[in-house]
Amino acid sequence: MSDDIEDMGPVDYLVVEFPGNRMTGEAFPLLVDLVDQGIIHILDLRFVMKDADGTVTALELTDLDGDENSFGLSVFEGASSEMLDQEDLEEAGNALQPGNAAAILVYENRWAAPFARALRRSGAQMVASGRIPVQALLASLDAEEDAAEGGRPS
């Protein structure tokens, strides 16, 4: 198993909130495409819902609103490494607004595996990681543009 881990790319997670517990399924075929292309490998995909009283409940694919097959969710059955436990689901649920559902995705970045292996072989190790939300990038660009316009004569 440790040899497999040495060959892995970086592993990330994300929690995607669906307001009002409404999932259209539009993104799921794109997720399948990322897997089919070998860009990512899904390690875990779980769903939770936060009730009005704040209770977080794990959902099964069959519990989701709408026809399971219309979302194409059946391809995700069994996509669980069991790395996410109840505490993880509750922590993810804390980020949700009451009445909303979320998908929690843990995935390996297979596209980065050769790079990560080379770094490990050279003795390097990741000491920090992060993600910049698109909204933060847009706000930064808007602020920069506003500052540039403020410096120009009219």
pLDDT tens by residue, the chain, 154 residues: 455 778 899 999 999 999 987 777 788 889 999 999 999 999 999 999 999 999 999 887 666 645 444 556 666 776 667 788 889 999 999 999 999 999 999 999 999 999 999 999 999 988 888 888 888 999 999 999 888 887 555 4
Sign of CA dihedral 44, 50, 55, 60: negative
Which among 27, 4, 26 has a CA at the least distance from the CA of 120?
A: 4
pLDDT score at 68: 46
Instruction: State both tokens at 84.
Output: 């996410």
Give the span between the Cα atoms of 37 and 55, in whole angstroms: 37
pLDDT score at 126: 81
pLDDT score at 17: 93
DSSP per residue, 59-90: E-GGGSSS-HHHHTGGGGTT-B-S---HHHHH
pLDDT score at 74: 66
